[in-house]
Amino acid sequence: MSSHRQTPLQTAMAQCGLIAILRGIKPAEAEAIGDALYQAGFRIIEVPLNSPEPLESIRQLRQALPLDCMIGAGTVLDPAICPEIVKAGGEIVVMPHGDPQVIRAAKSAGMACCPGVATPTEAFAALAAGADVLKMFPAEQLGPAVLKAWRAVIPKEIPLVPVGGITPARIAEYAQAGASGFGLGSALYKPGMNSGDVAAAARDFVAAWRNAYPQTGQQA
């Protein structure tokens, strides 16, 4: 964190702090859905590992999208899968929990890591294990008031990313409380949605993001 050079994750989040969670996507859909998200402005996309053939979807996304879009895996529970994620082209591991073994495995494999945390104790333990971003999960339970309280003690350079129940209408209140980004699930994509559906939802989210963070995309 002492380096002035941005990591790929910092660069992606500076452009757009919205993380697309494509739970349930199939490899045959990945390119079209990924392109719709990229064209709308998204620069971070994750495929949860409880999706059909998730590593193949990650591979398809990585091959299809420009390198300024980070592709990764979500719902990562087993440290042993991290090398396979890298082989598929994954650059970030997202977790629902804060298991330090998974965090260390992700970092050892050269990936960024975004563990899920629900208390300050979990947050600081995840940071000690090497976390790059803290996923506040579930955001419905934590809310903007909790986020604001965390912001008083967690260093401002550590991104806090609420995940769970985020809609375009809720982005502003979380932004005011100190959120750095957002993980977006079924309000953005759920199985059965086509690329046009996803593009429309993505544009709504990006518009809400830019309204809440007007400086976004202008950082070097």
CATH code where residue 94 lies = 3.20.20.70
- Total domains in the chain come to 1
Would residue 130 be called left, alpha or beta, if left means φ above 0 and alpha means ψ between -120 and 50 degrees?
A: left
Amino acid at 3: S
DSSP code at position 153: T
Query: Which sequence positions are flagged as catalytic?
Result: 46, 135
| Mean pLDDT rounded to a whole number for the chain | 95
Taking CA atoms, 132 is separated from 38, 89, 127, 144, 190, in Å, by 23, 19, 7, 21, 27
| 188, part of any domain | yes
| 217, part of any domain | no
Q: Tally the residues of the chain.
A: 220
Q: CB neighbours (10 Å) of residue 153?
A: 9
| 96, part of any domain | yes
| 41, part of any domain | yes
What digits encode the pLDDT tens for the residues 108-161?
Answer: 999 999 999 999 999 999 999 999 999 999 999 999 999 999 999 999 999 999
Taking CA atoms, 8 is separated from 14, 49, 132, 142, 218, in Å, by 10, 22, 11, 28, 15
What digits encode the pLDDT tens for the residues 2-42?
Answer: 445 789 999 999 999 999 999 999 999 999 999 999 999 99
Instruction: Give the orientation angle of helix 27-40 with respect to helix 54-64, to 10 degrees.
Output: 40
